[in-house]
């Protein structure tokens, strides 16, 4: 069964058509990298998957939970809630809760959404923080961490809900170049563990190495959908060629 | 204010009286919200017992009366800082006040009585106040009297104070307070207008004497005003004004 | 000076009422204001209009009139309060409108990413509001709330219209008794100033403590 | 209702004074407040302390006392104003303190990079302030200034203590004439509300226009 | 004569020593790239040169205007003012004036600092905007431009004062990867025109190609000071080796 199934998805903001006729299927355990110029709709694509944006036309199904453009608000709420339970998301700006410690950030959804009690939630948080290499930062506040550390906490926070799908929106582009590596390393190990992942990124080398599949977006369309090797060596469209050339210019 | 250029004129008049007469106007401070003593009528002019008295006084000093109405709290500093020449606004004579300002002879004696609702027969006099809730207009002598004189005498009661008589009576009518004490003259028009079912009972609790207030040390002015008051009482003008506002003859002294 | 000292107990009693009314009204005003702010931001169309109307009317009309209506106006409908209760009710409603604006501004200054992060982990809008947004907003809201509180300290003087002798009225009573105003005005100015300074200072400490993170 | 309509001209005259005093005081208050804010942010130690003291004292003490001091208290030093002038002076000084806090907040919310960019091109601190910071701060300052203005609209009622018949006082004069208060209070509440709504609306448009960029 | 001369410069923030014993000389027309890990003091180094930070010890002279740590405040003000007249700076966050149009942004200092009148100031702005390829954006507001366009306006703004020295603090790191190139191109052409430039950057390829000299900073020290070829091929210190490895990890 495929993890994500999109059929003729359109998304408008007012008159501005941002996603156009998106249809695709992403099987479980696949790692998909989404690349493309700024404003092409990459973030919107990602945010439609977990319902942070509602689609204007078409349908999306995530692990069997299906949203149509015309689903009733009540049913929509239920489906989106179900999808979010099984989906983790990591943002460019980390978005850690500044008023909570690192451990509390990871525990929060467990306490509130899963209604766990403190002790088991802490156990989970603790082991996830160890996994991302931050065991000793449990009691720090986000403001006391470097960007790379913050982003790793954000990943641990998303993993706490045991998602079947992880969405990443430019998770390294707010980081100092030297710190990018530590976050990519964590993501790579997730990929190796078989997590289904959709990653919007500008790190071409990472995409080439880690992804099973590249989606190249431009102007709201998915212009190319190919294996990394094929895409980077031999982009089919002029738009993609121009993009790859610009990005590698210096 | 009446004396705006008092400090600047080169040949300063030797006293307030001369100065008023030189200018030809006498500035009179009133509250302007105290019917029937001083208030604004439908033509937006100040009228009332105090206003008529002041006009009459001015005429006898051969000057024009100019009325300035403002909140009670502004009247006192206004007098002391020469914004007014006199106050004719039911300022009652007390020892404390006499230390700060000068008074003429009193021009009216207000009897203060116990006021209750018509159906109330439990309260006949201030002796019955103990343990009840009594209302008064704040800042007035009535309030000070209730608090400082009566309370120690008859025993503790709850004192609610109000901004004006209307609201006090409204609360009496509504049963929030058991009684109030008030100047009977002041009460009458309000009760009639609003149809409150209240009555005055018993002997007067006390009587207050109101006088014209003048800045301390203006002896000549006080004397002139006293003379004018006397004249008014002699020639019947005073009685005329009194009857006009209170529908009864002034009590004989 | 002498007179002020003689009458200090009386003035202090006024200050006590001023403080009492301010604190109680602020307490309920905070609750009303927070709910109103949430209604304006997250409510449906009807709730939003009600909340907006409430804020507009309350902020647009004089508190004196509000107090009078609560105390005298409602009697006609058989609703009756004691003076202190009426003061609490009227001023809580009044403060609530200002507080709601302070909270609304504060909630809107919490970065949007915070809600999104919470929603993405599966929280409902309500849970995100309660656990993530409001706790952060409280800190942003402290400076404007401080202003509201300090303003209310002085606005309480209006309740003298319904028979509560707070600080300003105490002074006026003394002034009409002694016929001197300056010492009393200066004395209560000093008292108001001390109260607001103490309060501002306390708030400052709370703000500092909240910004450990 | 009837009596309200009959007395509308009188009430409108009161409203006129309320508006006049508010607008004039706001105008001077804006100037005082802006200078104070700049003194607090860029001034030397002495200026900063003076500005802080001014804000603390003015915001901490009742405006009524301030009005009384300006009108009556200064007479002892040979300084005498007419009631309207005294009202303008006292309320301008009062508003100035609130305005300065609004501006200070606004100036501090202009990103630090803006000054640095200006300094780096060779501007002096003063030039950067005047050309780059203040114009941006004005926009941030509009919402809190709106609050101050609307608050002042109602605070003007205090000037009735110095013989200015503004809106609130007009109502009180009518109440003591007719012995009914509710219609008058409701009428002036409506008038205050209309004035503040009109003003809020106008300000909103200014804010919109300023945010073209 | 050297454009910049630093002698035993120290800079402390409270107890935190951020620049340590910096001595160097940068001749006119040299292009210097400053690289190093986050928090190593690169921005502070740059900001001390044009007086946005005051130094704690030592001396800096820029084109003959000299600042000592113990220069009196009044003299300091005068010297810094003189330095800033001859120095342009470009920030990571662009820092354009949002309430002014593109042309006004460039003209502002000419009007205020040089007291020029509108017409000649506009002529200068116009030709500089043409130079950075934004002739047709004169009347736009910054918020209507892409990041790359904004940064080019910022460069034009700095050039308006005809500086002898340009300072750049990570001018491309807030940009979308596709837009980085256009800014680097403008900088390269400045370098070719002989402008003296100090550039803090994470664009290693750009540094290697354009700079005459690399300063590698770590922990407040200038750890290496070398020609690009030598530095990138053969870093001398372990710290630089580790840094270069991390940055090129993916
Ligand atoms: N909430 C919104 N309201 C209106 N328009 C929006 C909104 N979010 C995005 N857009 C518009 O949709 C288009 C696509 O935006 P999106 O953020 O998806 O692009 P992107 O590919 O993620 O770009 P980037 O690489 O800059 O993040 C843009 O034109 C953007 O202006
Ligand atoms: N205004 C300041 N007050 C206190 N400490 C500061 C200040 N500015 C910088 N620092 C500290 O000085 C050190 C160096 O900062 P600086 O910004 O120069 O580093 P950087 O090399 O530019 O780093 P980055 O690559 O992250 O921009 C850091 O530890 C920082 O926390
Ligand atoms: Mg995006
Ligand atoms: Mg830096």
pLDDT band at A12 (very low <50, low <70, confident <90, very high): very high
Question: Average pLDDT, stretch A21-35?
Answer: 97
Q: Say yes or no: CB of residue E84 within 6 Å of ligand 2.
A: no
Ramachandran category for residue B140: left, alpha or beta (phi over 0 → left; psi -120 to 50 → alpha): beta
How far, in Å, is the centroid of ligand 1 from the Cα of A44? 6
- Ligand number nearest CA of A36 is 1
The beta-carbon neighbor of B74 closest among D78, D161, D174 is: D161
Per cent of chain D over pLDDT 70 is 99
Which has the higher per-residue pLDDT, E225 or D182?
Answer: E225
Q: Determine which of C154-168, D111-125, E21-35, E80-94 has the lowest per-residue pLDDT on average.
A: C154-168
User: What is the Cα–Cα distance from D143 to C101, expressed in whole angstroms?
Assistant: 10
Identify the H or E element spanning B125: none
Q: Say yes or no: CB of residue E16 within 6 Å of ligand 2.
A: yes
Rounded (10°) CA dihedral A18, A20, A26, A30: -50
Per cent of chain A over pLDDT 70 is 100
Which has the higher per-residue pLDDT, A216 or D151?
Answer: A216
Chains touching A, CB cut-off 8 Å, 3+ pairs: C, E
Question: Average pLDDT, stretch B129-156?
Answer: 85
Q: E247 to chain A: which residues are within 8 Å by CB?
A: 177-178
- pLDDT of res. B218: 93
Question: Average pLDDT, stretch B93-106?
Answer: 91
Query: Across all residues in chain B, what is the average pLDDT?
Result: 87
- Ligand number nearest CA of A39 is 1
- pLDDT of res. D30: 94
How far, in Å, is the centroid of ligand 4 from the Cα of E47? 10
Pocket test for ligand 2, best of E11, E39, E219 (most atoms within 8 A of CB): E39
Tens-place pLDDT, residues D67-86: 989 998 888 888 889 899 99
**Across the interface, do B166 and D173 touch by the CB < 8 Å criterion?**
no
Q: SS3 string of chain C?
A: CHHHHHCHHHHHHHHHHHHHHHHHHHHHHHHHHHHHHHHHHHCCHHHHHHHHHHHHHHHHCCHHHHHHHHHCHHHHHCCCCCHHHHHHHHHHHHHHHHHHHHHHHHHHHCCHHHHHHHHHCCCCHHHHHHHHHHHHHHHHHHHHHHHHHHHHHHHHHHHHHHCCCCHHHHHHHHHHHHCCCHHHHHHHHHHHHHHHHHHHHHHHHHHHHHCCC
Q: What is the DSSP letter of B92?
A: B
How many CB pairs below 8 Å do chains C and D form together? 84
Contact B56, B114 (CB under 8 A): no
Tens-place pLDDT, residues D2-37: 889 999 999 999 999 999 999 999 999 999 999 999
Residue B73 has pLDDT above 50, yes or no: yes
User: What is the Cα–Cα distance from E191 to E64, expressed in whole angstroms?
Assistant: 22
The beta-carbon neighbor of C165 closest among B77, B96, B161 is: B161
CB contact B80 to D (< 8 Å): yes
User: What is the Cα–Cα distance from E158 to A246, expressed in whole angstroms?
Assistant: 26
Burial class for A59, CB neighbours closer than 10 Å (0-12, 13-18, 19+):
middle
The three-state secondary structure class of E216 is: strand
Burial class for D197, CB neighbours closer than 10 Å (0-12, 13-18, 19+):
middle
Domains contained in chain D, CATH given:
2-212 (1.10.3720.10)
How far, in Å, is the centroid of ligand 4 from the Cα of C121? 33
CA A158, A164, A169: angle at the middle one, nearest 5? 50
How many CB pairs below 8 Å do chains B and C form together? 63
Ligand 1 atom closest to residue A220's alpha carbon, by position in its atom list: 14
Residue B5 has pLDDT above 60, yes or no: no
Predicted complex ipTM exceeds 0.85: no
Question: Average pLDDT, stretch C111-133?
Answer: 94
Which has the higher per-residue pLDDT, C1 or E6?
Answer: E6
The beta-carbon neighbor of A249 closest among E181, E202, E246 is: E181
Chains touching E, CB cut-off 8 Å, 3+ pairs: A, D
Pocket residues: Cβ below 6 A from ligand 1: A 13, 16, 18, 38-44; E 176
pLDDT band at C212 (very low <50, low <70, confident <90, very high): low
Tens-place pLDDT, residues B10-58: 455 678 899 999 999 999 999 988 889 999 888 889 999 999 999 999 9
What's the pTM? 0.80
The three-state secondary structure class of E236 is: coil
b/e string for D89-103 if b means 16 or more Cβ within 10 A? bbbbbbbbbbbbbbb
Question: Average pLDDT, stretch D141-166?
Answer: 86
Residue C145 in tokens: 């709330």
How far, in Å, is the centroid of ligand 4 from the Cα of E22? 17
Side-chain half-sphere CA neighbours of A9 within 13 A: 31
The three-state secondary structure class of A239 is: helix
Residue the block writes with tokens 């004579």: B93
Handedness of CA E241, E242, E245, E248 (dihedral sign): negative
- pLDDT of res. B161: 79
Q: C101 to chain D: which residues are within 8 Å by CB?
A: 147
- pLDDT of res. B16: 87
- pLDDT of res. E250: 67
What is the layout of strands, in order, in the sheet containing A57-62?
A16-27, A2-13, A57-62, A65-68
CA D128, D129, D133: angle at the middle one, nearest 5? 95
CB contact E93 to A (< 8 Å): no
Query: Across all residues in chain E, what is the average pLDDT?
Result: 95
Question: Average pLDDT, stretch A36-55?
Answer: 95
The beta-carbon neighbor of E178 closest among A37, A179, A203 is: A37
Which has the higher per-residue pLDDT, B136 or B10?
Answer: B136
Question: Average pLDDT, stretch E170-196?
Answer: 92
User: What is the Cα–Cα distance from A184 to A176, expressed in whole angstroms?
Assistant: 13
- pLDDT of res. B6: 45
Contact B74, C185 (CB under 8 A): no
Pocket test for ligand 2, best of E11, E35, E41 (most atoms within 8 A of CB): E41
- Ligand number nearest CA of E18 is 2
Question: Average pLDDT, stretch C191-206?
Answer: 90
Tens-place pLDDT, residues A60-118: 999 999 999 999 999 999 999 999 999 999 999 999 999 999 999 999 999 999 999 99
Per cent of chain A over pLDDT 90 is 91
């Amino acid at each position: 069964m495929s993890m994500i199934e999109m059929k003729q998805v359109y998304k408008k903001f007012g008159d501005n058509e941002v996603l156009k006729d998106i249809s695709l299927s992403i099987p479980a355990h696949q790692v998909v990298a989404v690349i493309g110029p700024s404003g092409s709709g990459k973030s919107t694509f990602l945010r439609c998957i977990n319902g942070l944006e509602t689609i204007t036309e078409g349908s999306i199904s995530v692990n069997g939970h299906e949203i149509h453009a015309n689903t009733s608000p009540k049913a929509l709420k239920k489906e989106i809630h179900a999808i979010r339970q099984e989906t983790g998301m990591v943002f460019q700006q980390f978005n850690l809760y500044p008023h909570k410690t690192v451990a509390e950030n990871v525990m929060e959804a467990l306490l509130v959404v899963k209604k766990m009690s403190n002790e088991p939630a802490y156990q989970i948080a603790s082991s996830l923080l160890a996994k991302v290499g931050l065991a000793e930062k449990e009691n720090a506040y986000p403001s006391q961490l470097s960007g790379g550390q913050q982003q790793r906490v954000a990943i641990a926070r998303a993993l706490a809900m045991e998602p079947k799908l992880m969405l990443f929106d430019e998770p390294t582009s707010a980081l100092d170049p030297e710190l990018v590596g530590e976050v990519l390393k964590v993501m790579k190990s997730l990929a190796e563990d078989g997590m289904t992942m959709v990653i919007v990124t500008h790190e071409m080398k990472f995409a080439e190495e880690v992804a099973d599949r590249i989606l190249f977006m431009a102007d709201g369309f998915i212009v190319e959908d190919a294996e990394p090797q094929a895409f980077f060596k031999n982009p089919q469209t002029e738009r993609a060629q121009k993009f790859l050339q610009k990005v590698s210019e210096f | 204010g009446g004396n705006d250029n008092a400090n600047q004129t080169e040949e300063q008049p030797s006293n307030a009286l001369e100065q008023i007469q030189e200018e030809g106007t006498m500035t009179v401070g009133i509250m302007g919200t105290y019917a029937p003593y001083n208030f604004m009528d439908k033509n937006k002019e100040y009228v009332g017992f105090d206003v008529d008295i002041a006009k009459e006084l001015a005429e006898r000093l051969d000057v024009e009366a100019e009325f300035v109405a403002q909140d009670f709290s502004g009247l006192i500093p206004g007098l002391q800082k020469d914004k007014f020449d006199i106050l004719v606004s039911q300022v009652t004579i007390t020892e404390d006040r006499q230390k700060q300002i000068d008074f003429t002879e009193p021009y009216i004696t207000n009897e203060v009585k116990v006021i209750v609702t018509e159906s109330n027969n439990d309260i006949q006099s201030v002796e019955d106040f103990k343990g009840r809730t009594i209302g008064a207009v704040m800042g007035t002598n009535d309030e000070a009297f209730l608090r400082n004189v009566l309370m120690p005498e008859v025993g503790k009661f709850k004192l609610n104070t109000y901004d004006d008589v209307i609201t006090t009576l409204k609360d009496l009518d509504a049963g929030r307070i058991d009684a109030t004490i008030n100047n009977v003259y002041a009460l009458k028009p309000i009760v009639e207008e609003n149809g409150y079912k209240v009555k005055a009972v018993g002997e007067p609790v006390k009587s207050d004497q109101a006088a014209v207030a003048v800045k301390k040390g203006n002896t000549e002015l006080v004397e002139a005003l006293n003379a004018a008051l006397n004249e008014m009482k002699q020639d019947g003008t005073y009685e005329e004004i009194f009857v006009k506002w209170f529908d009864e003859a002034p009590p004989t002294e | 000076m002498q007179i002020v000292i003689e009458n200090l107990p009386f003035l202090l009693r006024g200050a006590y009422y001023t403080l009492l009314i301010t604190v109680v009204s602020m307490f309920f005003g905070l609750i009303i204001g927070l709910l109103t702010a949430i209604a304006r931001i997250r409510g449906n169309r009807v709730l939003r209009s009600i909340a907006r109307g409430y804020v507009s009317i309350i902020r647009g009309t004089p508190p004196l009139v509000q107090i009078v209506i609560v105390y005298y106006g409602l009697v006609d409908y058989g609703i009756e309060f004691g003076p202190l209760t009426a003061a609490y009710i009227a001023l809580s409603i009044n403060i609530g409108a200002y507080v709601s604006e302070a909270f609304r501004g504060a909630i809107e200054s919490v970065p949007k990413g915070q809600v999104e992060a919470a929603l993405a982990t599966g929280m409902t809008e309500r849970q995100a509001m309660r656990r993530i947004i409001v706790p952060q907003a409280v800190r942003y809201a402290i400076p404007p709330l401080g202003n509201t509180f300090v303003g209310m300290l002085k606005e309480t003087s209006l309740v003298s219209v319904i028979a509560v002798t707070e600080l300003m009225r105490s002074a006026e009573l003394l002034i009409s008794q002694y016929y001197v105003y300056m010492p009393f005005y200066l004395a209560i100015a000093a008292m108001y100033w001390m109260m607001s300074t103490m309060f501002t200072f306390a708030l400052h400490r709370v703000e500092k403590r909240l910004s450990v993170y």
